[in-house]
Amino acid sequence: MFGHSRKGRLGVTATALALGVALVASGCSGTGSDDGGSGAEGGGGDANLAITFLPKNLGNPYFDTSNAGGEEAIEEFGGTYEEVGPTEASPTAQVSYVQTAAQQGVGALVISANDPEALCDSLDEARSAGVKVVTFDSDTNPECRDLFINQATAEGIAKAQIELISEQIGDAGQIAVLSASANATNQNAWIELMEEELAANHPDIELVEVVYGDDDDQTSFDKTAALLQTYPELKGIISPTTVGIAAAARYLSTSEYKGKVALTGLGTPNQMREYVEDGTVTSFALWNPADLGYLAAYAAQALITGEITGEEGDSFEAGKLGSYEVGEGAVVLLGDPFVFNAENIGEFDF
C-alpha cells in the first residue's frame, strides 16, 4: 500500500541499520540564511538540480542529521544543496522560505511541514513556477506536493511506541504523551493511532493527557515537570519527537522520578545515549534520519529529471539505498522503526 519497504523490523540487527550512518560525521553545511537557496543550475546535464532543504526549524539535531543525508546524496549526483529555515516550528514560519526558493528558481524544495494546510498556497505558487515539492518526515495535504517520503507507516510507528511503553510499565497504569506542536501532521496521526492501539489491545493503560512542547527544549522540559506534578500516579511518558524525548529525559534524570516513571518515544542515539546508560531510559525507537534525507534528495532528483512523475508504481534509484517505488497517494516508504537500548546504542553515531 505504501510502496517499497526496506528489509528490517523492530528486531533488525544494529549492523544493518548502521549502513550509511557514518555520513553524519561530515556535518551539515547549510547556511541557515533567510534566502531560499540558489537558483543556479546544478550538475546532471540540463536539469536544474539546485535543491533546497527546509526543515521544521533550524538547530534541531534530528533535522541536522536528515539534512546531512540529503547533502550527501546531492553531492553524489552533482546537484547544489542549500538548507534554510525558521528558528521556531510554527505553522506559518516556513511560508517566506518557500516563496523565496520559488523566486530564486530552485529545481526542488524538500520540506518537513509544520502544518498540513498553512503552506499550501505558497507551495502551489512554487509548483506553478516549476519547483518540484518533496515533503519528508511531516506531510502537507497531498494535493500541495509532488511526493511524500514517509519514514515508516504511521501504524508501525504508533504501535512500536505503545509496545515499548507497555513493556516498561507492565501493560497497566497512567501514561501521557509529550508531543511537538499541536499542528504537526505526523505527530497527530501517530497519537490518534496510539489511542486506537491502546483501546484495542491495552485496556489497562490510560492515556491521561497529550501536551505540546512545540519542539522547544525548555518548553518540553517544563511540560514534563507539569505532567508529573499534575498526575502523581503517572507510570510513563511517550514523546514522539526527538526534542521532546531528550528534554523529558533531562528532567527525569535528576528528579525523584528517575527509574520510577518510564520514558520512551522517538529519539536519536547521540541525544539519548547518556540517559540510556544512566538508567533514565530503557529503550526508544527511530528510523535513520540520515537515510530519510538521503532518500528525499534522490526522490527530488528523480522528479526534476523526469525519471518519475509521482504516479503510483513509478520507481527510481536512490544511491546506496537501492530502488524505491512510489505507492498510493504519491508516498514512498523508507522502512520500519528500530529500537535502541543499552545493548546496541553504543554502535551508532547520529
- Is 14-152+288-335's fold the same as 154-286's? yes
- Tell me the C-alpha distance between 152 and 234, whole Å: 29
Report yes or no: 247 and 214 within 8 Å, Cβ to Cβ.
no
> By C-alpha distance, which of 47, 67, 99 is closest to 301?
47
Adjacent-strand bridge partners of 179:
212
Q: What percent of the chain has pLDDT over 70?
A: 87
For position 350, what pLDDT does the model report? 85
Indicate if the pLDDT at residue 51 is higher than 70.
yes
Q: Per-residue pLDDT averaged across 55-64, rounded? A: 91
Adjacent-strand bridge partners of 149:
136, 332
Around Cβ 15, how many Cβ atoms within 10 Å?
A: 9
Q: What percent of the chain has pLDDT over 90?
A: 79
CATH number for the domain whose boundaries are 14-152+288-335: 3.40.50.2300
Domain boundaries, the chain: 14-152+288-335, 154-286
Longest Cα pair distance anywhere in the chain, in angstroms?
Answer: 63
Out of 15-24, 37-46, 89-98, 205-214, give the one with best mean pLDDT: 205-214
Question: Residue 173 is inside which H or E element, if any?
Answer: strand 173-179
Provide the whole-model pTM: 0.69
The CATH number for 154-286, chosen from 1.20.810.10, 3.30.70.20, 3.40.50.2300, 3.40.50.300, is 3.40.50.2300
pLDDT by residue (tens digit) across 118-175? 999 999 999 999 999 999 999 999 999 999 999 888 899 999 999 999 999 999 999 9
Indicate if the pLDDT at residue 1 is higher than 50.
no
Indicate if the pLDDT at residue 70 is higher than 80.
yes
For position 104, what pLDDT does the model report? 94
Banded pLDDT at 337 (limits 50, 70, 90): confident
